[in-house]
Structures are given as C-alpha cells and as structure tokens.
Structure 1
C-alpha cells in the first residue's frame, strides 16, 4: 500500500471520505498509460463502503476528483466497472460518463471470468 500511496502524488491524487473518524470511501486518479500520448487521460478508481452507497458520498468524491483532474491538465477520465454494478453505473451516468464498450472475460472474480465495462468522460 505504501508504494501505491507514493505513486499517488502530484497529478495522481487520492481523496478520502470520512464520517465520525471512519473512512467510508475513497477515490483516486491513476495513470492510464505510461505512454506520453495518453498523459491527458486519467484512470478513475472509487470505492464506497457498502452501507454508505447511494447516499451521495461517491458523487461528492467524483465531483471533487474531476476538479482536481482539470487543474492537473487532464482532458478525460476513464473507468472500468463490472457490468452488474448498476448503482455505480447510475452514478457515473448522472455525472456525465458514457459507456464505451464491454471487454468479455476481462477479469476473474470468485474463480469465474467476468466482463468489464469501459466508461469515459471528456472534461
């Protein structure tokens, strides 16, 4: 984890959401690619603790992270989500993200292949 945090400085930042001294969520801008042609594109990671989902924490983190992305000269944010993550996709779509496509058998979850949906937002 310390290596991951060390890599998230400067343009690639991490935001933490807390309530009553408890971390309830986080979001980060990650390097999309090491190729300089993609320096204006950030990859988004976001996690909200289950009992806090659907209560505005994700939206607040996402909106703040988009402002940080703009200030750091990113012109686009991409993200990857499971197609069955309807709550997350609802948030992303409300915030202006669009579905780009679905990678079939992209990952493994609980020992089974899962598809992964790509989404993007031009800032």
Structure 2
C-alpha cells in the first residue's frame, strides 16, 4: 500500500463505527491514550460538532484505515483558535503512510477552519507517532512528567505543537 492508494476526506458519522474500532485498537496497545474503556460509535458522535475537523483515511477497498480529529482545547475565548488533535491508524495498516495522509489533511482542514495552532500529548514511548508528527512539521515543546496513570503506572507524555502560520495575520 502506498500513499497513492490512500485518500483523505472529511469523516462523517457513518465512519464512527470504524473509527471507534481503530481507537479501541490504540487503547488496547497502551501507547496511545490513557483511556481504558472501549468506545462505541455512539461515543464518537459528539466529536462531529461542525467546528472541529475530522479526517478519515480510506484505502483502495473503501475501508476507513485511519483518522485524525481535532477537539476543543479550552473554554476560554482567547484559546478559540487552538485545537487538540489525535491520530489513530488501524493496527494492520500502521507504517504504511496512513498517519501522514491523515495529518496532512487535518492540518489543511484546521487552517481552513481558522485554527492557528494544533497541539497534543504523546506517550514518550510512542516513537512512531513522534516520528510522524515531526515529519509533518510538529515540534516537541516539552515533557509532562507523570501526566497520568495507566494500569497503575505513571506515564510521561511529550507535548507537541504546530503553529499554523497562515492564520496568524
């Protein structure tokens, strides 16, 4: 599979079942989220708020194989142009460029939606995600030590951000 066989498009609620399954794989692997309760399609429906872009990556068989989503960063109006994001790839499709396709499209969609910054936190052990994010222009701004517990163990996360220069005028 190459990037040529992948396409990104805005996700829809109809994609929520596949997205939930992909999210749950990431949760099971214990390197992508502090969450431990499996998600359902209904749980993800609230993500589709009309303000925060969500991108689905589709393979040659028209299956959702990854996604990237933005979320509200904070309620204060001064942060209205900042979005948190996450990116998840179906386990069977990792290492094939899906994440890069998702993130490139998400960055473009975030610019069009008027956001001036994207940020996230990545488990320090998740080298694949950190490499992906560096490759699409994110910088590591620090480490949050003991940011949360997962399975009773304190975990550190790397804070990453990308300023979307096009919206800083």
Tell me which residue corresponds to 1:91.
132
Once the 2 structures are TM-superposed, how far is the Cα of residue 3 of structure 1 from its aligned partner? 5.3
Per-residue CA deviations over 1:40-90 (Å, capped at 9, x if unaligned) read: 101011111222112111011101111110011101100110011111111
Q: Which has the higher strand share?
A: 1
Partner of residue 40, structure 1: 81
Query: How far is 1:36 from its partner?
Result: 0.7
Structure 2 counterpart of 1:76: 117
- Residue 65 of structure 1 pairs with residue 106 of structure 2: yes
Distance 1:47 1:7 in 2: 15
> Paired residues, what number?
123
Residue pairs, 1:1-123, within 5 angstroms: 1-2=41-42, 4-19=44-59, 20-123=61-164
The Cα RMSD (Å) is: 1.5
Unaligned runs of 5+ in 1: none
CA distance, structure 2, for counterparts of residue 16 and residue 68 of structure 1: 12
Structure 2: tracts of 5 or more residues without a match: 1-40, 165-169
Secondary structure of 2:45's aligned partner: helix
Any conservation in 2 of the 1:11–1:69 contact (CA below 8 Å)? no
Q: Which runs of 4+ in 1 moved over 4 A?
A: none
